Amino acid sequence: MKKNAIGKSGIEASVIGMGAWAIGGGVWWGDNNDEESIRAIHTALDKGIDWIDTAPAYNLGHSEEVVGKALQGHRQNVVLSTKCGLQWRDSNGSFHKRIEGKDFYRDLSAPGIRKDLEGSLQRLRTDYIDVYYVHWQSIEPALTPISETMEELAKLKAEGKIRAIGASNVDLFQLREYVRCGQLDAVQEKYSMLDRRLENELIPFCEANEISVQAYSPLEQGVLTGKITVESKLRAGDIRNGKKWWAPENRPLLGEMFEGWDDLEKKYGCPVGNLIIAWTTRRAKNMNVLCGARKVEHVLENVKAGEIELDAVDYERMTRDADTLIARVESLSVNS
């Protein structure tokens, strides 16, 4: 599988990454089979997906625990990323939200970051993290300046506990401040064919400053796989309930677009979800596309996307069709 550089860190990773949010299970994702998740991770590594991303907040550390178990004996072959700044051990920081029955706080103080890292290293059964992201940005009333956060992250890097610094869920002002205060190598943000806000400011800034972009939710949490119909039901409490592109009135419009790509599915010998992931990998220099998976079959589908080279005419056609769909849905929303 093709690999891309991660910023200026000297680290390279597969263009497709494996997201481990759903592996955590819990209220948002429901019951999960940990042993099956471990098999999925091993399959990803066997097939060339070597960037695994997780976070402490994914079901109170359970995702990290599963990833840590899976990586025993494989750690040297993996680019591992996790996150800091979102904690439930105490009330330090600013309240974020209640998750899994716990109050979470955004704490990007130096002691908070170090405690987060210690917990992650233990759960992940490793002594270093390749890419360490700030999960959510600091807010009032406990606002920690980015300069202080970066100072502590630089110390952890100098100590060999992390190899590269990343930030997630940032705006352009915050991104500029990170770059002013040190070396930022990766930004992880929501990005999909149907949600391209990053293209206005963040992606151009990242490309100009040699920062890699890692896109999460490239398939809009599954609705862009082409497998979801109007009749598809979500369980109560599923995080996808209420999402724009999961709305019953929008699913038929997605279906129409997918039907128009039947010839592309035949041409490239893959399902529509693979086409969309392949399209996404081309939207920025050194773009990594983070694909969630907790079953072997999900991984095997994602792997195919990393091997597809879309012809320019097909890439441009998909872009136009997506633009038309977005405009159509926005028009219906305004007129409803």
CATH number for the domain including 163? 3.20.20.100
Q: What is the C-alpha separation between 305 and 274, in angstroms, rounded?
A: 5
What is the predicted pLDDT for the residue at 272? Answer: 95
What would the pLDDT profile of 159-171 be if each residue is shown by its tens digit?
A: 999 999 999 999 9
Residue 289 lies in a domain: yes
Residue 177 lies in a domain: yes
What is the predicted pLDDT for the residue at 235? Answer: 74
- The closest of 186, 179, 263, 280 to 224, measured between CA atoms, is 280
What would the pLDDT profile of 62-105 be if each residue is shown by its tens digit?
A: 999 999 999 999 999 999 999 999 999 999 999 999 988 999 99
Q: Which residues are designated catalytic? A: 58
How remote is the C-alpha of 160 from its chain's centroid?
A: 24
Q: b/e per residue, 248-280, with b = 16+ CB within 10 A? A: eebbebbeebbeebeebbeebebbbbbbbbbbb
What is the predicted pLDDT for the residue at 335? Answer: 61
Are 162 and 132 a contacting pair, CB within 8 Å? yes
Residue 155 lies in a domain: yes
Q: Residue 200: give the domain boundaries.
A: 3-229+270-308
What is the predicted pLDDT for the residue at 26? Answer: 81
**Could you tell me whether strands 129-134 and 79-84 are parallel, antiparallel, or unpaired per DSSP bridges?**
parallel
Give how many domains the chain has, as a whole number: 1
Residue 335 lies in a domain: no
What is the predicted pLDDT for the residue at 123? Answer: 98
Segments of the chain with pLDDT less than 50: none
**Angle subtended at Cα 110 by Cα 105 and Cα 113, rounded to the nearest 5 degrees:** 55
3-state secondary structure of 157: helix
Residue 322 lies in a domain: no
**Please, which contacts does 316-325 make with residues 24 or more away whose CB atoms are closer than 8 Å?**
318/193, 318/261, 318/264, 318/275, 318/276, 318/279, 319/279, 321/257, 321/260, 321/261, 322/193, 322/194, 322/257, 325/194, 325/253, 325/254, 325/257
Residue 260 lies in a domain: no
What is the predicted pLDDT for the residue at 63? Answer: 96
What is the predicted pLDDT for the residue at 27? Answer: 75
Q: What is the C-alpha separation between 258 and 164, in angstroms, rounded?
A: 38
Residue 77 lies in a domain: yes
Q: What is the C-alpha separation between 173 and 179, in angstroms, rounded?
A: 10
Residue 114 lies in a domain: yes
